[in-house]
Structure 1
């Protein structure tokens, strides 16, 4: 027969707790991340997985899980912070590209070093081609570790000359100026360009003689738009047009780039400006939520010398979140460093210590809906075998005898359990075994009370020794024995009180000593009362006091006897 609960109201309240209903409470809070795709705040069924995303200016740390699971005990799995402060993508350098190894990285915490390789047309200097992420999460300045190859001194065309603007290295320009009476036919400059793995000056334009006319002519290339008081579009190969004073040819570089390029899955990371960027400006983008930067693709555009933005293409792609953490297995060393996991990606696992492989393949796949395929039981706990119970008791297996399982220990009637109430299948080296058994003992005096008796005896003997040395009589010995017994028993009682009310053994000893001294003084008082009386002669001038045994009673004298 099952009796009804004595506290029905308390039982009803407990049933409304998430753990009592097989639910987890509120998802764990992290300082640098928030849940990615749930609006629920509490009451998650067992087995629910919640994935988080890093806040802006933080990056997911490779190898750390971004997902928690509601476990069978209605508690969330623990996973710790997985987002870290990081430098942005390493700067794009005109003369060099990131090494293949560093190009794959997404996470650059303080102290990270990345290396570069010279581009074609450039050659290495003596400087080390590396930069470092500094404490303020910016990159150290890149030294000139790659320098352009030289094209040599440029030659001018016939009836003209080449004027070097800056230098004769790869990428440099030289303006072409024609002599008086000649006009330039072709580009106004030549440039040091790449040819194979070497460099050379581009093809020279020509300087042609000018035929004098009353109205000067200006030869403009096809498609040029002339801006002035009125716009004229040149549609002939070699038209002749008279330019009004102050007219400008549009298309010439203004020294600024216009509006930033737009990407479908990314936005600029750290700028509020929308246009008017000086040449050389670099703008880095960040991926939208649910998208991840594709390793090897650049996320930075540069304003080039022609006032146009460099082309980088889409660099963010949809991907599965971090692979789920499994109780029985860990991600392989190769897969733990990956951040970009698009549809079709497969990751493999390795069994944890205490587990052994099954016949199933230890791998899961990112599906088209960007969720991971269900993980089969490719690792299973090792067996500890049937557990043995202690003497006068037995072990009751709760679920199974595999690694991590528990068995409750139950003692026979009239015997008390000393130690934990269960044993567990635990790891020992690369094998498993049951943990140490508790004992089932017959009831007896608590060992702590025995210790209290010993402490009381020692203290009492010390006090008694002092009294004996001072008095040195048989009475003193009797007092010592009384004090010893009283204090020893009192300390034992005090320890029992301390254990019972939960104030600790040390406080129990103090209470016992206090009780002991009170009992000793009470005993001394009783002893005096029984063996001592005093007589006072009121007629005596000196008020002589004698003991009752020396008193002579007289009918003619008035005597008063006080007994104490």
Structure 2
């Protein structure tokens, strides 16, 4: 019995030694990490081997042990956690702000957005890399405008080689000329002067009375004048019974000529009259200004009271009759 027990214990010890000697396969990759050093090339690891994981480029340890050990063919749990590196915010910039797309972690971008009136000069965008922000940001410089446009028979002040954002210039015209348009222009954020420069027009270049438009005439006291000073703006209005169909009603006298008239006038429409009892409405010829609406009674009815309607500037005018039954014999009503 003693010999049997010894042999049994020896067999168990041999099995234990055999189990302990089992190799481990290549351990699975952790999230955002891999084996460190030459271990990354191996596919089998002897029992008792300890390997180390390292976070991938752009990631850093968020805690936990990076080492695992092969024991009897199995790896111990991996504690290492890896998180994206954070480059954090860039220092404040002058006359602008940084926009992060979408954030400040590895692979994200930092872009300079200049304030209104400033523009980026030099450099480009930053990229969050494994060692921090890489690249070079531009700087924000104030927007400049070159010399303003020259106006015939006029001049501007102040006169400088370069103008900065929001600088203002004033135009004046020589004697016997008047400014038409904006006297002041400013250096805008896109590097141009705005609005459009004015014109200097001779005060002797008056305009005659403008011709009537179709179904319209001058508005107010302007209808009584025959001559209009240069730069004058007049307004047209649709005649009675007509209404605007779009377009500007104003024109301006410039250097003896009127600007084009955009206003269009169309006849007002009174539309259909409500249905009537025992008859129908006949429109002669339609439902627009000046047209007529006449009541036609059904057979066996006749109009009583009222008359016809006329389409006026405020709608239908007048009062329609009503259709009342007639007492005439049927042979009279049905006579050809």
Instruction: Tell me the TM-score normalized by structure 1.
Output: 0.23
Larger strand fraction of residues: 2
Larger helix fraction of residues: 1
Higher RCO, 1 vs 2 (CA within 8 Å, ≥6 residues apart): 2
Instruction: Tell me the TM-score normalized by structure 2.
Output: 0.35
